[in-house]
Amino acid sequence: MEFFRIKKDIPFMRHALVFNVISALTFVAAVFFLWHRPLHLSVEFTGGTVMELKYQQATDLEKIRASLKGIGYEAPEVTSFGTAHDVMLRLPVVKGLSSKDASQQVYETLCKAEKGELKQIDTVSAKGEHVMKRACADAAGAEAVALQKVEYVGPQVGDELTQNGMNALAMVIVGVVIYLAIRFEWKFAVAAIIANLHDVVIILGFFAFFQWEFSLTVLAAILAVLGYSVNESVVIFDRIRENFRKQRKASVHEVIDNAITSTISRTIITHGCTQMMVLSMLLLGGPTLHYFAVALTIGICFGIYSSVFVAAAVAMWLGVKREDLIKPIKEKDETDGAVV
């Protein structure tokens, strides 16, 4: 399916050097920001407190954030899950305050915000036993805010998640190299990996520069961008291989230009539809999906750029040629079939 067809090939490779210089400068800037301003890691990586609360009324997330900021949490992560009454808090470690004391302080603050009072309430456990627990009761005696669960994420767990995330990223990169080397040729594999690392580092550079919170959902978005960018590169590489078979007299520049030009319509359709869904998450998904959608948006935009102006250009600089993808046809020996 095509929206339009471009009859004359656009000479992308004529300006490949300029685009590669721009890519290199952007990459260096991203690396500088990562070195100068490290990533703002979330509780999953640094350790902290995770709390699940259940409100009697539908929750006001902004009100909860304001209450937490009032007791010293600069960027508390407050999200709803399940229903409008359920809230999850992810809070970083506070110096000089234990995790248990921090959770009690947070619960007391949120209870006061709901104009409730902390009382000892007799409840029945899952085993049918009567237990006394500290709960936030309103004027009518009902439980205004119920503390469902408290978990403490230690630094050791955060280090383990960081290591696992790096391992996942490395496995994806190795898998992509092997796949492209088998399907195409090693020059294409190297070109695609350079383009993909270009996208990943630039996303991380944005998060470092603006100090956006880097969480597990953002890591998942980066892994998704890797696969998405590889898919776009594979489409262009496949068209290059097809053109080498059809356009026997065309130069490498002409073959690559034709491959990119002929896939522009497909690129606009694919990336446009994907970006519409991502924008819906960005605008309507709330704080839970905000940075996930931001990472995907940056990755999609730079993924298009890198597939055209980085991957294809690097493959050209590496000296890809028709013989790399298509085995030359051996001429028939004139003596074959001759009678001796």
Tell me, yes or no, whether 340 lies in a domain.
no
> Is the model's pLDDT at 25 over the cut of 50?
yes
**Once rounded to an integer, what is the mean pLDDT over residues 287-310?**
88
If asked whether residues 242 and 121 sit together in one domain, one would say: no
pLDDT > 90? residue 276: yes
Is the model more confident about 112 or about 308?
A: 112
The model's pLDDT over 138-169, given as tens digits with 9 standing for 90+, comes to 878 788 898 888 888 776 666 777 788 788 77
Q: How many domains does the chain have?
A: 2
Token pair 């690559």: residue:
256
264 and 302 together in one domain = yes
Find the domain containing 75 and state its range.
48-153
Q: Is 221 found in the same domain as 179?
A: yes
Average pLDDT over the chain reads: 83
Do residues 238 and 101 both lie within one domain?
no
Domain boundary among 114, 133, 153: 153
List the CATH number of the domain containing 199: 1.20.1640.10
- Give the per-residue pLDDT at 268: 84
Do 216 and 317 reside in the same domain of the chain? yes
Asked if residue 315 and residue 198 are part of one domain, the reply reads yes
**pLDDT tens profile 93-127:** 877 788 888 899 999 999 999 888 888 766 656 56
Residue 334 counted as domain residue: no
Residue 336 lies in a domain: no
Domain identity same for 178 and 311: yes
4 located within any domain: no
For the ranges 25-29, 232-236, 267-271, 327-331, the maximum mean pLDDT occurs at 25-29
Residue 135 lies in a domain: yes
pLDDT at residue 326, as a whole number? 67
Residues 169, 264, single domain; the answer is: yes
**Predicted local distance difference test score (pLDDT) of residue 309:** 82
pLDDT given at position 201: 93
- With contact defined as beta carbons under 8 Å apart, do 49 and 147 qualify? no
10-24, 112-126, 177-191: least confident range: 112-126
Shared-domain flag, residues 125 and 105:
yes
